[in-house]
Structure 1
Amino acid sequence: MPYVTLIILLFVAVLHGKNSCLECHEGIEPIRANSSEMMKQIKALALKAGHEGNDCIVCHGGNPQEAAKEAAHSGTVAYFQTHEGPKEFYPAPGSSWINHNTCGMCHKEQVAVQMNSLMMSEQGKIQGALWGFGAKEGYNHNVGNYATKNPDDPHRRLGTKQYQAYMKQLTRMEPQAFPHEMTPLPPAPTAEAIEKDPSLAVYTYLRQECLRCHTGSKGRKKRGDYRGIGCASCHVPYSNEGIYEGGDQSISKEPGHMLVHAIQSSRKVKVKVHDTEYSGVPVETCSTCHNRGKRIGVSYQGLMETEYSATFDAEGHEKDIL
């Protein structure tokens, strides 16, 4: 599309309150149904920000008045510079490291507690590995991916009163498993340090083999392991191949992209992929992390992990390994 023509189209789009992002991203799926309360609030915020119709900027940031890709995919509009909202262009607005500016505008409580979740800290598998390498912390689950601690005000904890009372009881019964504060994983040891104390190899082992699944990262770029980061780890669908299969022709067909541009959540929220429609968070999403180890994800699917040949298809050929 000629550059001058694109500028004219953008001007017309802005003038009539249309989404100028769609001049390039035509065919992309709405992140939620236009009739949903979530999308209505997003559109209302775009209007409040002075960019009616450009709902993409509410989560992604960027500059909807620019025609060139590099300029459009940079910065943020003036309103969000001084109000809640994205502070830069965010390709992955669900990322744990910036989602207080995006998802956190509406889901403040969930974003506020994310650092204390097991999916972020991974303290369980860390403690298990440390125990196997000489019980370095004893029974204490006090080492995580990051330094974090419980809020001083117990009322800031999420959950019903019954749940909070239940957790207090568990903490009294098993204080070693419910620490008030966690320290970050120590730095990886040198070869010389491991020669003196072989048990220090656990910290290298954890980093290389165990800790790729926390929600602060996007996962391994291999078949079966593609997923989002932060909130998108669970709430944005990815296929085993990591290839986008939606209607936006501008999105690369290289592996590493979402399956479709949509949020998956409750049974009421519908996601459509080609001619298939589903709701909820499918177990395939869980299995992008919950494999190996105790293999709870793949076991739930009725699959078996093995170092040998994969299972066979209907014609007797070996399937691709996940």
Structure 2
Amino acid sequence: MKHHFTLLALFFLISLLGCQQEEQKRNSAPASTPEGQPSPVAVKKTLPPPPPAPGCQSCHTEIQLDSNHNLACASCHQGNNTVNEKKVAHQGLISQAASPIAMEKNCGKCHAEQLERCAQSGHFTMSNAVNQVREHFELSPLKDLTEIPENEGIPQNKKELVNDLLRRQCLRCHVYSKGDDYPYVRRGKGCAACHMQYIDGKLTGKEEGKANHAFIRPAKQQCLSCHYGNHVGSDFDGGYEQDHNWSYRTPFITRDPFLRPYGIELHNLVPDIHQQRGMTCLDCHSGAELAGEKPSVQCLDCHGSDVSPAVSKLRVQGNERILQLYKSEEERLVPRLQHPAHIRYKAQVSCQVCHAQWSYNDGTTHLLLSYSEDVYPWDRLAVQSSSAVERFVEYNLYTEEEELAPSLPDQITGKRKAGIWYKGFTQRRWEDILIDKDTDGIIKVFRPLLDLRLSAIDEEEEIIADFDNLMGKDAGLRPYTPHTTGPAGLFYEQRFLHLLSGQDGESAENQ
């Protein structure tokens, strides 16, 4: 019985194996055509992709063109727009087509009149900022920043030291440069500095992954890309730089590394009341004013008894004044001057003496030109709202490789030169507003704009040419209009009564 069972199992296994082999043959046999012929095996061919169409956008697919400037890329950027090979396509390329050296040829083809006006404006020439510093150190005025002489080597006299200060430390915000290397500051050159939208130094776009090449009307972001760092405009937004010493700075995020959008952490002070009402810089300061075609707007142009043509979007409606906001359909009711103090003091006191909520009062400003590689004294002061200084100090502090030589770029030509400018302050304050009488007899707000001390040391940290705490011709106090407007306090007169003439001051106190 046992042998019969073994034979039966063996027979079953042999039959099963034969069935499997037959099934494999059927599966591997080629399919037949209706005529009984085997079908040919299909071969899938992989074709090479077609070559891209010639032109810039075959490679630069992320560029989102401006419908108002629907031009061939090469019409402004030059280069060869008929090929795909990068080396050939980029021959003669102008990457910054709206920069000062190229904008007359490019932008001027259609906007010659606007370009001519803009080129003469203070925003373009920086003549006011340049000449304030030069005149303070008793140097002759210049027409624009490009006339500031370049030094060949280490400054040997006051004129050379001041020129180097202007070209490599002060003038980091103007249309000849792309701005400091911080997220909210990096931008384009020339016309693009104000009329193109940048974030983190790159063109932004409405679509994700797209770079918007549209030319726009400036907004607050464009203004603050230059008007930051305790300059007029930053106060409008309530921004005040914290101290340079890292012990007195407060980062707002904990991740490492953390960004400083404007170069250094900011105190968030009360913004201007106009900003709180949704207004921006260009609601008051028109393009015509910035181009030098109209005088600077004054408070009375909106709030005074007469309607001024300086504010184009202000209209009278019955007994009220209505302002239409810039780039918006929104409107704001403009309050009229009603308090009797406006009549009493209008010829003697400027508006911001009573209405400024706070003002910049950071002085004395110490500036040191150093040719020394020793950065350890600047460990706690590495962040000075200057990306070049910050990069140099932090690299030399922590590198295990060869240290960098101290150098800074010329902010007009871009050429790097030996020596680095450090900055520090005796104090940084905002709560004490400085009030004084100007040369025209009007009581105004002042700030220590030119309270500067210049020094210079060589590679061995020896003083150069007696440049040790070099001062200008006076204390450096200059009139200033804080953009921190708000309601006048109950004791507003206490700010200026001591500056009124004897009879006027006594009569005011008795009322």
Length-normalised TM-score, structure 2: 0.37
Contact 2:196 2:203 survives alignment (8 Å): no
Distance, in Å, in 1 between the alignment partners of 2:152 and 2:228 is: 27
2:156 to 193, 206, 225: 193
1:202 to 156, 162, 165: 162
Partner of residue 145, structure 1: 145
Partner of residue 99, structure 1: 103
Q: Which amino acid aligns with 1:242?
A: G
Q: CA deviation at 1:102?
A: 1.1
Contact 1:189 1:203 survives alignment (8 Å): no
Distance, in Å, in 1 between the alignment partners of 2:117 and 2:75 is: 22
Partner of residue 136, structure 1: 139
Q: Which amino acid aligns with 2:139?
A: K
Q: Structure 1, residues 224-267: CA drift from partner, whole Å, max 9, x if none?
A: 3201001001011111x224554696x9xxxxxxx6322211xx
Q: Which amino acid aligns with 1:21?
A: C
Partner of residue 212, structure 1: 172
Q: Which has the higher strand share?
A: 2
Q: Structure 1, residues 126-174: CA drift from partner, whole Å, max 9, x if none?
A: 12112332x323xxx435213xxxxxxxxxxxxxxxxxxxxxxxxxxxx
1:69 to 82, 86, 90: 86
Partner of residue 194, structure 2: 234
Q: Structure 1, residues 18-59: CA drift from partner, whole Å, max 9, x if none?
A: xx33222224211x23xxxx34xx45xxxxxxxxxxx22222
Contact 1:130 1:202 survives alignment (8 Å): yes
Unmatched segments (≥5 aa) in structure 2: 1-46, 263-511
2:223 to 269, 281, 286: 286
Distance, in Å, in 1 between the alignment partners of 2:148 and 2:48 is: 51
Two-structure CA RMSD over aligned residues (Å): 3.3
Contact 2:155 2:161 survives alignment (8 Å): no
Q: Which amino acid aligns with 1:125?
A: A
Q: Structure 1, residues 99-118: CA drift from partner, whole Å, max 9, x if none?
A: 12211110011223444222
Q: CA deviation at 1:201?
A: 2.1
SS in 2 for 1:193: coil
Distance, in Å, in 2 between the alignment partners of 1:318 and 1:68 is: 38
Contact 1:212 1:219 survives alignment (8 Å): yes
SS in 2 for 1:304: strand
Distance, in Å, in 2 between the alignment partners of 1:218 and 1:114 is: 18
Percent identical among aligned pairs is 26
Contact 1:28 1:248 survives alignment (8 Å): no
Q: How many residue pairs end up in the alignment?
A: 210
Q: Which has the higher helix share?
A: 1
Q: 1:93 to 1:318 in 2, by over 3 A?
A: closer
Distance, in Å, in 1 between the alignment partners of 2:228 and 2:134 is: 20
Structure showing greater radius of gyration is 2
Q: 1:310 to 1:90 in 2, by over 3 A?
A: farther
Q: CA deviation at 1:200?
A: 4.5
Partner of residue 180, structure 1: none
Distance, in Å, in 1 between the alignment partners of 2:166 and 2:189 is: 20
Distance, in Å, in 2 between the alignment partners of 1:214 and 1:282 is: 17
